[in-house]
């Protein structure tokens, strides 16, 4: 192996980055992703009927791996891969491992072996996708989880992935984008709601921005996101994945 002689510059193009986009159902995650440059949906669940998009229906883990190999070969015009949802992809991975070892559930294999096999396979395929020269958007839903802190119990909003899969995904992506509803007072004092993306770590929800380019809150609008990303600072920062 030849060691590098120069530092790798930060990636400047959104289509070179990977992101987790999560939030409640029907808030607009899929619509937002559909506006990414050269988007190709790997659809593991229904929900694209209202959108005109390029999509490959994914029903099994083998279909996902086969499609990833096809994408990797190139010769197409796609620039962004959208896995919608990554939750279903993880379940397909678990079903694949269970079928391979002829068990009903990954816990049926001894000493945590089933869970380790599922997580290793899931990590392997997602990492391979992330290393391709395309953007990667992983879509997930959100849920509230009660956690214990030094000052008591509180609720935090996190992706609906199982714990191990969640850690794999959070460690893999450059951006963790939480889609939410913001309520502010209007000119007449009455509350106004707007759909937003939250990009910075918080005790109340999962979010993060390794690029350091994004403001803390952006309207859930792809053009607004692109404008913020293009005009933001390029100094990298760390994402808090805890």
In three-state form (DSSP H/G/I as H, E/B as E, the rest C), the secondary structure along 37-89 is CCEEEEECCCCCCCCCCEEEECCCHHHHHHHHHHHHHCCCCCCEEEEECHHHH
Structural domains counted in the chain: 1
- Report pLDDT for 42: 97
Residues 6+ apart with CB under 8 A from 149: none
Asked if residue 240 is part of any domain, the answer here is no
Q: What does pLDDT average to over the chain?
A: 89
Neighbours of 182 (CB within 10 A): 14
| CATH label of the domain that carries residue 74 | 3.40.50
Asked if residue 141 is part of any domain, the answer here is yes
Asked if residue 126 is part of any domain, the answer here is yes
- Report pLDDT for 2: 76
- State which residues form the domain around 98: 14-231
User: Are 99 and 145 contacting, i.e. CB atoms less than 8 angstroms apart?
Assistant: no
Residue with tokens 């690029």: 211
Alpha-carbon span 205 to 38, nearest angstrom:
30
What whole-number percentage of the chain has pLDDT above 90? 70
- Report pLDDT for 236: 47
Tell me the pLDDT tens digit for each residue of 91-136.
999 999 999 989 888 877 887 888 999 999 999 999 999 999 999 9
Asked if residue 3 is part of any domain, the answer here is no
Asked if residue 25 is part of any domain, the answer here is yes
Q: What are phi and psi of 22, to 5 degrees?
A: -135, 160
Of 202 and 50, which is predicted with more confidence? 202
pTM above 0.95, yes or no: no
Asked if residue 239 is part of any domain, the answer here is no
Asked if residue 8 is part of any domain, the answer here is no
């Amino acid at each position: 192996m030849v060691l590098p002689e120069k530092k790798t510059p930060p990636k400047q193009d959104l289509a070179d980055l990977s992101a987790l986009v999560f939030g409640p159902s029907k808030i607009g995650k899929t619509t937002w992703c559909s506006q990414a440059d050269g988007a190709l949906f790997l659809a593991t669940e229904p929900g694209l009927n209202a959108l005109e998009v390029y999509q490959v229906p994914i029903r099994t883990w083998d279909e996902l791996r086969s499609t990833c190999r096809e994408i990797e070969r190139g010769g197409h015009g796609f620039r962004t891969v959208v896995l919608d949802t990554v939750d279903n992809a993880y379940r397909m991975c678990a079903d694949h491992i269970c079928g391979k070892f002829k068990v009903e559930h990954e816990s049926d294999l001894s000493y945590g072996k089933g869970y380790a096999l599922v997580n290793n396979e899931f990590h392997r395929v997602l990492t391979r996708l992330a290393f391709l020269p395309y953007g990667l958007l992983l879509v997930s839903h959100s849920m509230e989880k009660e956690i214990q802190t030094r000052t008591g119990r509180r609720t935090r909003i996190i992706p609906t992935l199982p714990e191990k899969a969640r850690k794999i995904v959070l460690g893999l992506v450059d951006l963790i984008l939480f889609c939410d509803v913001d309520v502010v007072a209007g000119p007449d004092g009455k509350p106004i709601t707007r759909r937003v993306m939250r990009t910075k770590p918080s005790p109340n929800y999962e979010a993060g921005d390794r690029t350091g380019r994004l403001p803390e809150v952006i309207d859930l609008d792809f053009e607004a996101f692109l404008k913020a990303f293009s005009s933001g600072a390029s100094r990298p920062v760390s994402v808090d994945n805890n």
